[in-house]
Structure 1
Amino acid sequence: MGGIAMREEETERFRSLITARLADLDAEDALGAGGQATVTLDQQAIGRLSRQDALLNQSMAKATQARRDTTRQALNAALARMDEGAFGYCEDCGETIATKRLELDPAARLCISCARG
């Protein structure tokens, strides 16, 4: 990209990449749904340590879901930037974001210089 506006085919390639990542997140949501279910406190069904383990697993599943939700929001924001023609440009300095950076993180909003501070 090096100073040249992103070509339409590059934008569509990134749109496909983002769409695929969103689909992956949806699949992960379906797999993780069971881990977030309410833990029953039936003394007869499981012991105290098993309950604590189940509560810990539930907590981790909820934290993982929160990370997926944050990633999903960032990817959807990247799609919105595409629609606005702002995708691939740093929100701080206005320079283009390196293609390799966008390939690693298509939701990147800052060039590497601005991200470093």
Structure 2
Amino acid sequence: MNHPQLDMAAIQRKLLALREELQAESASSESSRETVVLDQTSVGRLSRMDAMQAQAMAKAEEERRQRRLKLISGALVRIEQEEFGECIECGEWIGARRIEWDPLVLKCIDCAS
């Protein structure tokens, strides 16, 4: 049974919207994750270092997006299996306000601390 105090349809819509937003961000930032071309003649050393740092930051951001997309997929599966809202550690219900604030949360406040 899903969390009794939550509107599962609203949570599901929120998760789907978040997934769509993350996928759009991922698609739009694809070029910033491409390998930095090291052309010694056209770009100075500091500019290349800046470009490499920007690339590393873009890759880290993409990894964060991919982790969140996995959490969203897991949450949608738990809704389908009617297990959404249960703490993965103790099995008790996660607080409704906690889930409404962050529907990707996996643990109740006691187990998370």
Q: TM-score with structure 1 length normalisation? A: 0.89
* 1:19-67 deviation digits (Å, cap 9, x = unpaired): 0110110111122212101111111221111000000000000000000
Task: Compare 26-35 and 49-58 and name the one that shifted more.
Answer: 26-35
| Separation of aligned partners in 2, 1:76 and 1:8 | 22
Structure 2 residue runs without a partner (length 5+): none
CA distance in 2, matches of 1:91, 1:54: 41
Which consecutive segments of 4 or more residues in structure 1 shift more than 4 A?
none
1:93 is matched by which residue type in structure 2? C
Cα distance, 1:5 vs structure 2: 5.5
Seq. identity, %: 37
Residue 48 (1) aligns with residue 45 (2): yes
- Tell me, in whole angstroms, the C-alpha distance in 2 between the residues paired with 1:105 and 1:76: 14
Between Structure 1 and Structure 2, how many residues are aligned?
113
User: For the aligned residues, what is the CA RMSD?
Assistant: 1.8
Q: TM-score, normalised by structure 2?
A: 0.91
> What's 2:73 paired with?
76
